[in-house]
Amino acid sequence: MASFLVLYGTSEGQTEKVVTRIGDVLIDRGHEATTVNASEISPEFAIDDFDAILVGASIYTGKHQTSVREFVTAHRNTLATKPTAFFQGSLSSTGEVREVQAAGYVEEFIEATDWQPDRIALFGSALGTRSTVS
């Protein structure tokens, strides 16, 4: 089966919960899944070893986590050679008007990183208890 990297940034801990669930589902389906917080990844981390890469981030004070933006920008050439997906958790992802706002955050992220993922998903999120940005 395939090996997946599920890399994420989280501010309130909600995206981490989503990533944990995604990893569990991939493993249940017979795949290998490695979940890594972008703020904890070392520069030597080899993404070439993975068959597919999922990147997740949340919106915090109107932007995605810097660590996720920096990771994608640094690895965009490798990301372009693999199946990829980007998912975003946001309070703005629920409700029709807010979905438009949430999609705008994704467009800004794609422009800023010069990366076009194969798939994009928007998830509604919730406020958590953490207040650090990673």
In a domain, 35, yes or no: yes
CATH code of the domain in which 99 resides: 3.40.50.360
Strand pairing class (84-90; 119-124): parallel
Look at the chain and report how many structural domains it folds into: 1
Q: Is residue 133 assigned to a domain?
A: no
Q: Each residue's pLDDT tens digit in the chain (134 positions)?
A: 999 999 999 887 788 888 999 999 999 999 999 999 999 998 788 999 999 999 999 887 788 899 999 999 999 999 999 999 999 987 544 555 466 777 888 899 999 999 999 999 887 655 454 444 44
| 132 in any annotated domain | no
25 lies in some domain: yes
Instruction: Give the CA distances from residue 4 to residues 71, 88, 102, in Å, rounded to whole numbers and listed in that order.
Output: 16, 18, 25
* Alpha-carbon distances of 76 from 71, 110, 117, rounded to whole Å: 8, 11, 10
Domain that holds residue 89: 3-124
For position 59, what pLDDT does the model report?
Answer: 85
Query: Which pLDDT value is given to residue 9?
Result: 93
In a domain, 105, yes or no: yes
